[in-house]
Amino acid sequence: MYAVIRTGGKQYRVQPGDTLRVELLDGQQGQEVSLTDVLLVADGDKVAVGRPTVPGARVTAEIVEPMVKAEKVIAFKFRRRKGYHRKRGVRARHTILRIKEILTA
| pLDDT computed for residue 94 by the predictor | 97
pLDDT in tens, 47-61: 999 999 999 999 999
pLDDT in tens, 4-40: 999 999 999 999 999 999 999 999 999 999 999 999 9
- Give dist(CA 101, CA 34) in Å, integer: 10
Average pLDDT, the chain: 96
Count the domains in the chain: 1
**Single-letter amino acid code for the residue at 59:** V
| pLDDT computed for residue 57 by the predictor | 95
Instruction: Residue 49: give the domain boundaries.
Output: 2-103
* Coil, strand or helix at 43: strand
At residue 80 the predicted structure's pLDDT band, cuts being 50, 70 and 90, is very high
- Give dist(CA 39, CA 11) in Å, integer: 9
